[in-house]
Structure 1
Amino acid sequence: MTVPPPDGSRDRRIEDPSNLWLIHPTGRLLLPWAIRRGVSANAVSVAGLALGAAAALSYAQFDRPFFELLGLVLSIGWLIADGLDGMVARATGTSSALGRMLDGLCDHGVFALIYVSLAFTVGTVEGWVLATAAGIAHAVQSSLYEGERTRFHRRIKGVARMAVPTAAGNALVRFYDWFAGVPDRMAGAFERDLAGSADPVALGRRYGDAAVPPMRLLSLETANMRVLAIFVACLMGDPRLFWWFEIVPLTFVAIAGLAWHRRVERTFRNHISPAATEASAAQYLVKEQGQ
């Protein structure tokens, strides 16, 4: 049986099964080896990017079964490296802004390479259009999912988020900040209630139990699911099936999951008295653990 990471950063109830039984356990097995040999977290991230690039080259020959399977194996290797770099950084106390940026670039870079590789192989205008649309959908879906997952993990510890900052900068930046902040504004009412609760930890625990089902639905937005979907589409001889899967079903999952999550929040709000709601609005402050 797997256990959550020591730092409590993930709740296993909403984790993808492949993370629980394969990706994370393998990373933990490799962690002591990486530390003993002085392998840095950034080096692991770059190695993951190399594995992902090799997977992209393999999928470029998706009409050959051997390369389809090789692409899957290399993609799994990248997922393991993607988890291992964070483990190394936490274990060695070397987390940094550069490392987080590099990790993010490697993650997005792997999928970009795979999409471009498959589009080149398909070799049609339709293929490029679908690949581009799928890439945009992927970016939006992943951003929404990561935001909901971060929100869930913070709340179950009884920690409320500070108010959404006012957008600043030029018109384009303000529009981007406004658009990116839509989910936070939609979730703001529950954040105020959590901040003003007499026992935020208990409220967070009850919220977590109720929010597990929508978060499990949203876990279909993980990179793991996309890796499997790419392999299946190539196995069926048509990468366009993956792009359509990205554009239609995964977009529906993102919308349905967010709506379900907001409905869970409203359920809690309906059981809070008006007086408590007014008090929570007055106390809507940042709450950090230990303070």
Structure 2
Amino acid sequence: MTEIDSTAAGKPPELQGLLNRTLYHPLAHRLARALVPTPVTPNMVSIAGAVIVMAAGVLYALVGTPLAIAAGLALHMSWHVVDGADGALARMSGRASPSGEIVDGLCDYAGHGVLYILLAARLDDSIGGAAWALAVGAGVSRAVQSVFAESQRRTYQWWAYGVPWLQNARSDGKGIGVALSNLYLWAWRKMSGPTQRVNALVASAEADPAERRRIAQIAKQAGRSTLPVVAIIGANPRTILLGLSMIAGSPLWFFLIELIVFNVVLVIAIMQAAASGRRIARLIAQDRQ
């Protein structure tokens, strides 16, 4: 195994926050190892993750007692374990594929879509129809923010460690999965700007191991400044913030954070990524001259 692909079986340390490193990822790998000898498939695990998120929504919105809210937070946090286990199981069992990525993404969006509907229904009791506008705005914001954050992390893994992802796979064909994956990639490309230039430089160096190692080092250096900002709009902070918002008595605070605070962070992250992409492309091109 080469230096570049040494993390193909998991995420590198710089992509793992405290909860991922100490709780979610260790438990996800244990769960995946336990499932390897069973008939359970990665797609089944992805579907189970969606059901867990929906169940958390029921506890938050339809039950709403202090005990139910605590259980909802614990259940929502357990989703992160299951969400990591489907990919780990796919790698351990040799069943990793672009179609699996699509199913995983669809399940994540479906589960959280139901969660937001349930939260909006609860908020409707206190502020009326405005709750639905807030929920739709927050949901769309989450989708856009998540596309950017996850794509930036996956792009970083490709640049720095040679781990391919959805954009490296062919997406020809028909069907809802292909259409949604193409929409996902289209949205990311619209936000990624100069990143696309670096993608071309990385792809052109795939047949040159020495050049790929050099690019990987440049990418790792750049990631030290960009990855922490991207992490803010990832899934982990949202889960905790939603739990705190429900403890405070309403999902309103969570929706407002997604609509205002996280969109400000998204703009900053896009600008930072663009500057970083231009700098990386310049460094690669300079050393090739």
TM range (shorter): 0.7 to 0.9
Q: In structure 2, what is the equivalent of residue 142 of structure 1?
A: 146
Matches of 1:232 and 1:243, distance apart in 2: 12
1:16 CA drift (Å):
2.5
Letter in 2 for 1:121: R
Q: In structure 2, what is the equivalent of residue 168 of structure 1?
A: none
Q: Secondary structure at the match of 2:161?
A: coil
What does residue range 45-84 of structure 1 map to in structure 2 within 5 Å? 45-61=46-62, 63-84=64-85
Matches of 1:217 and 1:185, distance apart in 2: 17
1:31 CA drift (Å):
2.3
1:213 CA drift (Å):
2.2
Cα contact 2:32–2:88 (8 A) shared by 1: yes
Matches of 2:211 and 2:62, distance apart in 1: 57
Matches of 2:6 and 2:75, distance apart in 1: 24
Describe the shift of the 1:57–1:199 C-alpha distance in structure 2 as closer, same or farther (beyond 3 A).
Answer: same
Output the aligned Cα RMSD: 3.1
1:12 CA drift (Å):
1.5
What does residue range 83-102 of structure 1 map to in structure 2 within 5 Å? 83-102=84-103
Cα contact 1:15–1:216 (8 A) shared by 2: no
What does residue range 21-36 of structure 1 map to in structure 2 within 5 Å? 21-36=22-37
> Which structure has the bigger radius of gyration?
1
Matches of 2:223 and 2:32, distance apart in 1: 32
Please, which of 193, 210, 216 is the counterpart of residue 204 of structure 1?
216
1:153 CA drift (Å):
0.9
Letter in 2 for 1:103: D
1:258 CA drift (Å):
2.1
Q: In structure 1, what is the equivalent of residue 157 of structure 2?
A: 153
Cα contact 2:7–2:161 (8 A) shared by 1: no
Matches of 1:99 and 1:193, distance apart in 2: 27
Letter in 1 for 2:81: I
Q: How big is each residue's C-alpha offset from its partner over 1:62-106, in whole Å with a ceiling of 9 and x where there is no partner?
A: 742111111111112222111111111111122345533322121
Matches of 1:225 and 1:142, distance apart in 2: 12
1:242 CA drift (Å):
0.3
TM-score (normalised: structure 1): 0.79
Please, which of 189, 194, 197 is the counterpart of residue 181 of structure 1?
189
What does residue range 228-239 of structure 1 map to in structure 2 within 5 Å? 228-239=240-251
Matches of 2:82 and 2:287, distance apart in 1: 50
Matches of 1:204 and 1:87, distance apart in 2: 23
Note if 1:44 corresponds to 2:45: yes
Cα contact 1:75–1:227 (8 A) shared by 2: yes
* Unaligned segments of structure 2, at least 5 residues: 171-178
Letter in 1 for 2:129: V
Note if 1:219 corresponds to 2:231: yes
Cα contact 1:15–1:219 (8 A) shared by 2: no
Q: Which moved more, 1:125-134 or 1:196-205?
A: 196-205
Q: In structure 2, what is the equivalent of residue 257 of structure 1?
A: 269
* Unaligned segments of structure 1, at least 5 residues: 166-172, 278-291
1:266 CA drift (Å):
3.0
Q: In structure 2, what is the equivalent of residue 130 of structure 1?
A: 134
Letter in 1 for 2:21: L
Letter in 2 for 1:186: P
Cα contact 1:158–1:205 (8 A) shared by 2: no
Q: In structure 2, what is the equivalent of residue 109 of structure 1?
A: 110
Letter in 2 for 1:230: L
Q: In structure 2, what is the equivalent of residue 10 of structure 1?
A: 11
Matches of 1:273 and 1:88, distance apart in 2: 39
Q: Secondary structure at the match of 1:39?
A: coil
Cα contact 1:112–1:135 (8 A) shared by 2: yes
Q: In structure 2, what is the equivalent of residue 190 of structure 1?
A: 198
Matches of 1:218 and 1:32, distance apart in 2: 29
Cα contact 2:194–2:274 (8 A) shared by 1: yes
